[in-house]
Each structure stands twice: as C-alpha cells, then as structure tokens.
Structure 1
Amino acid sequence: MEQFAIGGDLPVRRLGFGAMHLPTDAGPARENAIAVARRAVELGITLIDTAHLYGGGANEELLAEALHPYPDDLVVTTKVGVVRTGDDWKYDGRPESLRVQVDEGLRRLRVERIELLQLHRIDPETPLADQLGALRDLRDEGKIGRIGLSEVTVDELARAREIVDIASVQNRYSLLDREHEAVLDACEAAGIAFLPWRPVLGAASSGGAELTAVAAELGVTTAQVGLAWLLARSPVILPIPGTANVAHLEENFAAAEVKLTGEHLERLGA
C-alpha cells in the first residue's frame, strides 16, 4: 500500500483506522474491540486515530491494552482540546489545560512522546497563538513529535501555519460530503496530511445511482468505492474509517486494492 510521510518524516500507510467506535466498557464488547485493534495492526495498518474525547481517555487506554508495546512502524495519533465538565463536553484550549491533557494522553497510551498530536477543535475563547504556542512548547520539550488541527477553515489553517508548523488536518470529508474541498486543496498545496473523518458517510448505505453502478461494475461495496475514491482524490489524503467489527475492518482495508479507472473517477467526481 502507498505511503505518505506526515510532516515530511513520519511514514504511514495511507489507509488508517479510526478507533472512535471501539467499545471500552468491561465485558465481551471490550474483548472484541481489542481483537479489532489487533487485527488492524495484523493487516498492516500503521496509522490509528484516537482522542481524549473518546470516553474521556478510555479509548486511549483500550488501544494501549491491545497494542502496547507498539510495533515500530505504528503511529497512534490522539487529539486534545475538548474536556468533560460534569455531564458535558466543552472546548478547552487554555495552555495549562492542553499540557495536562497531553500528559494524561502520554500516560494512558504508555508512551514518552506522541508522534502526531492534533488540536481537536480551536477554542474560540483562547487566543490561537496561546493554544498553538503551548503545543509548540510541548513539541520542543519532546512530548509531541508533530502538531495537527481538526475541523478548521482555510483561513484558520493559514493563521495557524504562521504560528507553528502544521503536519496534518482532520476535517469531515467524503465522496458525498465535500464541504471542506478548499481545505483539502490547501493541504495538498502545502504537503499537509489530510485525515478525513467519517470518510464513508452515506456511501455505505445510499449514494445515488452512479456510486451504486460503479460498485456493481467492480464487484465491491459502495463503501469500498468511497474509500478508493478518497485515495485517488489526493496523495495527501489518509482516510481513517472506523468500525468495531473485524469483517467490516477487513472490507475497509481491502479498499486500498480497488482500482478506479479515469472514467470511474470522472463519473464519481460529478
């Protein structure tokens, strides 16, 4: 499978795995979640995405239980900047809060350095320079390897890049949801990794006659066509489809082998 070097120096295979859907409560569902995470690595996936938000760190702990000590080529990226307050979640990009969240992530993932740390959301109540300055300090201290952003506009990405090097952007994007096309184009121009979340939204169930027709012609699922289209759309795209089902994981991974012709891409692009 093709690779992409995040930040220019962190090679990963282009089709990753989003761990958000893995159940973390004790019992058979957790055992299955551990099996799914381990199967992802067996298949050769080298990029796994999690976040402080997913279960308040429980997802990070699950991945550590399943995969630590990690293979040398495995990158587990996590996100900070959203915290729980009582029963609610809120943006919190204050420097002192980001530092605590990163330290908690290091402990839960059982690592000394998070190779890619993404700001889950920009906190509108904290100056962007303060948020990214804190992450830059943590990078300079060796606790973070590279800094990424999530759910940003073209303007926010440009402002962020004036403050610190940005290695990745994680925005919602798929064949049937191209709201952030301009952000993807900006990332491609700058060589920034673009990690579309919810990359098969709609494609797995409905997506119009063209998507269904292309899938039928190739003998694959519409979800696989959606992932193959993303891989063909731009060399900086690193899809991270998520699932708690081994068979579905294997189906998603097989999308890397789906070859779309120029005619297919033209029909799907329209």
Structure 2
Amino acid sequence: MNDFLIGGVRRVGRLGFGAMHLPTAPGEQRDNAIAVARRAVELGVTLIDTAHLYGWGANEELLAEALYPYPPQLLLATKVGVAPPGELCGRPDFLRGQVDEALRRLRTDRIELMQLHRVDPQVPLADQVGALRELRDAGKIAHIGLSEVSVAQLTEARGIVEIASVQNRYNLQFREYEPVLAACAEAGIAFLPWRPVLPAVTADGPVAAVAAATGATGAQVALAWLLARSPVMLPIPGTASLDHLAENVAAAGLRLTADQLALLDAG
C-alpha cells in the first residue's frame, strides 16, 4: 500500500520529502533548491516536511517561494518548539507565536500538520500539546504531530488531543524507537522516521548484498526496508540533488523479498 491517511482523513503518499537540506541563501544553490522542491512535487511527492528550526524560518519561506500556490494534493508539515540559538521552548505563548509566524511564511491560513519539534522538559506536556489543540480548534492547524517522543509521552499526549503523526529517528542501524513504532501502528498514527537513509553503506554488508541482487542503490534498499517495515511508516528522505531526489522517489517501487527483508532485519 503506497498511501496513508494522515489523521485518518488526509491522503498522502508514503514516501515523502524532508526539506531540511535545501540551501536558502540567495544564489545558485537557492535556485537549485527551489528546483528540487518543485521536482519533488512533479515526481508525485505529496508530503513535504520542514521546520522553523531549519534556517529559523528560511526553509519555510523557500518552500512557499517554490510551491505556492500549493497543489491540492500536497501536505506541508512543519515544526515548532525550538528558539534561537537552539533552546527548547514549549511555553504556550511561544508556540502560538511560532505557529502564527509559520502561517505567514508559508502563506497559508492553516498548517496541515503541525509538529512539536521536541518536548520541552521544563514545561508540562499537557501545556505544550494543549496549546496546539487550542490552535487546532481555532482553525490554524489541521493535524498535530510529535517528534522524538517515548511511548509514555505519546500516550499522555493522546489523552489530551488526537495525535496524527510521530517523527522519531529510525533506520536500519538505529531502531531504539521500535516500541514507539509499534504504538503508532496499533493506533494508526503515521510514523515519520528522520534520517531514514544510512549515511554510509559498507561494501560487504547486507544492504550492499541486497542492492547488488536488486540492481538498486543502498539508499533505495534502506528506504524500501522502511516501507516494508510497517504500513504506518512514512520516510522523509532529504536531499539538495535532483538526481538523488529521483533515486529516492524510485525507492517506492522497490519490492524486497522475504529473504532479503530477513537479511536486513538481522543487520
């Protein structure tokens, strides 16, 4: 199954795009970044992830420049909860201000998926999630997500408001959040693994072996493994390269055998 319903209602393709690596400074690299974002949509990507942290809003502005007016099938997800120079801040007034800024930068009156970038340990989770719930009720947010949370935090948040997604680090080599993935699968919550593609693939490891057998790249194998891992898995690989973008998108069509999956599962 190549589609998923965010919040049970908003259909997106299961292979998204993470915009974090797109350069935002004026010049040739920015022009290329705009081309990459536009090409992602042309290739059928319907979920693009960004955050206020990525350039302190510059990444959001880049996506608006590249893609506004947004095609109806595109879901833009962003994140709030981090203040310069990188301090967690989950105070409700701060979150409300960041959401308003995101609305302005993205040129929209509603954020389709607003994620709490990190849980601020200095602020009760109920206050942080409650602020996002109030913004949802006001029509500024359609769906609420969390990032880097435990099962206990996810459970607590779900007692306050409906949670549509969780974005935790997860890949072939890092599976610490397997219990969170299982909780998301049970509840039908989208799981967006960040850093989904391994930074390096050894020449003699299982990824290389499967890549050789399938004619795929190591990155495509890593993404195909994630897609096969759980029906709620929505990888969001990022790149600033048009060629790498096309390679990542093509991974959605790679089907691994049971034996290949078992080999990768074993590491």
| Category of TM-score, reference length = shorter chain | over 0.9
Is 1:104 matched with 2:101?
yes
Aligned residue in 2 for 1:27 = 27
Is 1:67 matched with 2:67?
yes
Aligned residue in 2 for 1:213 = 209
Taking the aligned partners of 2:158 and 2:105, their CA distance within structure 1 comes to 29
Match of 1:231 among 227, 234, 238: 227
Is 1:41 matched with 2:25?
no
Query: Over residues 163-201 of structure 1, what are the superposed CA-to-partner deviations in whole Å (9 max), with x where a residue is unaligned?
Result: 111100000001121111111011001100000000012
The aligned runs of 1:103-122 (5 Å cut-off) are 103-122=100-119
Taking the aligned partners of 2:205 and 2:19, their CA distance within structure 1 comes to 31
Amino acid at match of 2:46: T
Aligned residue in 1 for 2:52 = 52
Taking only the aligned residue pairs, the percentage that are identical comes to 68
Amino acid at match of 2:178: E
Could you tell me whether the CA contact under 8 Å between 1:24 and 1:58 is conserved in 2?
yes
User: 1:208, CA displacement in angstroms?
Assistant: 5.3
For structure 1, which runs of at least 5 residues remain unmatched after alignment?
A: none
Amino acid at match of 1:218: T
TM-score of the pair, normalised by structure 1: 0.97
TM-score of the pair, normalised by structure 2: 0.98
Amino acid at match of 1:96: D
Could you tell me whether the CA contact under 8 Å between 1:83 and 1:90 is conserved in 2?
yes
Could you tell me whether the CA contact under 8 Å between 1:4 and 1:13 is conserved in 2?
yes
Taking the aligned partners of 2:41 and 2:203, their CA distance within structure 1 comes to 30
Taking the aligned partners of 1:206 and 1:255, their CA distance within structure 2 comes to 19
For structure 2, which runs of at least 5 residues remain unmatched after alignment?
A: none
Taking the aligned partners of 1:112 and 1:120, their CA distance within structure 2 comes to 21
User: 1:2, CA displacement in angstroms?
Assistant: 1.1
Query: Over residues 149-170 of structure 1, what are the superposed CA-to-partner deviations in whole Å (9 max), with x where a residue is unaligned?
Result: 0000111111111111110000
Taking the aligned partners of 1:182 and 1:49, their CA distance within structure 2 comes to 23
